[in-house]
């Protein structure tokens, strides 16, 4: 009998391990860093006007590497304003890494950190249940909307938390990435369940247009070296395959025909290019910045 395929999200430590490996093998964070260096100052240029405190909300912040870079840009724009930084992150391992990062980063005295070990939906239930009325000047959801069940409702809820000048920044894989090709072709044969949706920034832009939200998008070029996926018995390759398919132990649990088809698809020019003998997967991203209406 074929072993069952299940979502990678059902095994948090394997998920975190494969995500870290993905970060090592890709320019994911470097291209975000470049975006923050070149574009964020303009995006946050009015979020704190007239404020004594700026409220920031990170949803699915992971270990906070990108969060701290964005907070530093907000601080550069508003050096005399303190920041309340709220984090909504369900993984205890990620929260621990975030806390460790904060502990070893100097110059964060102007920021108060509030960690919520929660999913975005649990946070929404809390806010509504307790009638909390905090408005946020900057909310970000970076590479996390895949894990939300009802995306339109989530977008509606988080945009309702924005202050007048507030901005919501979303980053997801782009509609022209290898991810999009792979998921469009094979998403229906992978363990799509309520833990992961194969969506791209293109889908989010369509949703935002249909609710007449005001937004701007930016394309980020990014690569991922997936050569190890094609080396028999390579553990890193297996973890990267898990991450690409969002499937726990894909190599061993996928039916043989699907495994072979996906391996071929990953090598094809629809998903990757060959550079210096390496298979480089198209990891292009899009940033979407939503304004409060
Ligand atoms: C791909 S990681 C991105 C982490 C970080 N934003 C980054 O880009 O480095 C996705 C993160 O979303 C978190 N996550 C998963 N499901 C979530 C949910 N329903 N609500 C909020 N965060 C969630 C995961 O624990 C993980 O830290």
- Per residue of the chain (293 residues), give pLDDT as tens: 456 899 998 899 999 999 999 999 999 999 999 999 999 999 999 999 999 999 999 999 999 999 999 999 999 999 999 999 999 999 999 999 999 999 999 999 999 999 999 999 999 999 999 999 999 999 999 999 999 989 999 999 999 999 999 999 999 999 999 999 999 999 889 986 656 688 999 999 999 998 889 999 999 999 999 999 999 999 999 999 999 999 999 999 999 999 999 999 999 999 999 999 999 999 999 999 999 86
Q: With a 6 A CB cut-off, is 58 part of the ligand 1 pocket?
A: no
pLDDT at 3: 67
The beta-strand segments (E) located in the chain are 53-59, 82-88, 111-116, 136-142, 162-173, 214-220, 223-225, 272-275, 278-282, 285-291
Q: What is the pLDDT of residue 143?
A: 96
Taking the CA of residue 142 as reference, the ligand 1 atom at the shortest distance is 6
**Helix, strand or coil, per DSSP, at residue 139:** strand
21 in ligand 1 pocket by Cβ < 6 Å?
A: no
Q: Tokens representing 167?
A: 């901005």
Instruction: Give the whole-angstrom CA distance, residue 30 versus residue 54.
Output: 26
- Closest CA to ligand 1's atom 16: 147
- 1 falls within a domain: no
Q: How far is CA 187 from CA 55, 207, 285, 292, in A?
A: 37, 20, 19, 33
Cα-to-centroid distance, 57 and ligand 1 (Å): 13
Q: Which residue has the tokens 């990267």?
A: 240
Residue 86 covered by a domain: yes
Pick the closest to residue 272 from 258, 283, 285, 260 (CA basis): 283
pLDDT given for residue 193 in this prediction? 61
* Per-residue model confidence (pLDDT) at position 1: 43
Question: According to the annotation, is 60 in a ligand binding site?
Answer: yes
Domain-located, residue 241: yes
Q: Is residue 114 part of a domain?
A: yes
**Pick from 119, 177, 168: nearest CA to 148:** 119
Is residue 3, in this structure, part of any structural domain at all?
A: no
Q: Is 54 annotated as a binding-site member?
A: no
Confirm whether residue 48 is marked as ligand binding: no
User: How many residues belong to the chain?
Assistant: 293
Q: CA-to-CA distance for 95 and 87, rounded, in angstroms?
A: 9
Q: Is 64 a domain residue?
A: yes
Backbone angles phi, psi at 60, to 5 degrees: 70, 50
CB–CB of 10/251 below 8 Å? no
* 2 in any annotated domain: no
Residue 65's nearest CA partner among 47, 43, 83, 87 is 87
The pLDDT assigned to 211 comes to 85
| CA nearest ligand 1 atom 24, residue | 60
Number of domains, the chain: 1
Task: Tell me which residue range forms the domain holding 162.
Answer: 8-291
Whether 135 is in a domain gets the answer: yes
> Distance between CA 86 and CA 136 in Å, rounded?
9
- Any known ligand binding at 283? yes
CATH of the domain at 253: 3.40.50.150
Contact 239, 20 (CB under 8 A): no
């Amino acid at each position: 009998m074929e072993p069952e395929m299940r979502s990678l999200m059902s095994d948090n430590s394997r998920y975190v391990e494969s995500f870290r490996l993905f970060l090592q093998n890709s320019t994911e964070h470097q291209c975000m860093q470049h975006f923050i260096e070149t574009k964020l100052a303009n995006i946050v240029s009015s979020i704190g006007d007239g404020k004594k405190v700026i409220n920031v909300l990170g949803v699915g912040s992971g270990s906070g590497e990108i969060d701290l870079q964005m907070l530093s840009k907000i601080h550069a724009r508003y050096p005399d304003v303190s920041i309340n930084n709220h984090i909504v992150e369900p993984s205890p391992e990620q929260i621990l890494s975030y806390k460790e990062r904060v502990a070893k980063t100097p110059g964060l005295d102007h920021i108060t950190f509030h960690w919520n070990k929660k999913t975005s939906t649990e946070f929404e239930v809390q806010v509504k249940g307790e009638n909390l009325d905090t408005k946020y000047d900057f909310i970000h959801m970076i590479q996390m909307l895949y894990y939300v069940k009802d995306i339109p409702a989530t977008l509606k809820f988080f945009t309702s938390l924005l202050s007048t000048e507030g901005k919501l920044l979303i980053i997801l894989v782009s509609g022209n990435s290898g991810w999009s090709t792979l998921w469009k072709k094979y998403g229906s044969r992978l363990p799509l369940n309520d833990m992961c949706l194969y969506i791209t920034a293109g889908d989010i832009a369509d949703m935002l247009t249909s609710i007449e939200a005001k937004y701007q998008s930016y394309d980020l070029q990014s690569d991922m070296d997936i050569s190890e996926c094609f080396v028999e018995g390579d553990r890193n390759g297996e973890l990267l395959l898990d991450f690409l398919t969002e499937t726990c132990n894909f190599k061993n649990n996928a039916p043989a025909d699907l495994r072979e088809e996906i391996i071929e698809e990953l090598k094809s020019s629809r998903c990757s290019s060959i550079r210096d003998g390496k298979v480089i997967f198209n990891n292009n991203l899009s940033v979407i910045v939503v304004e409060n209406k």
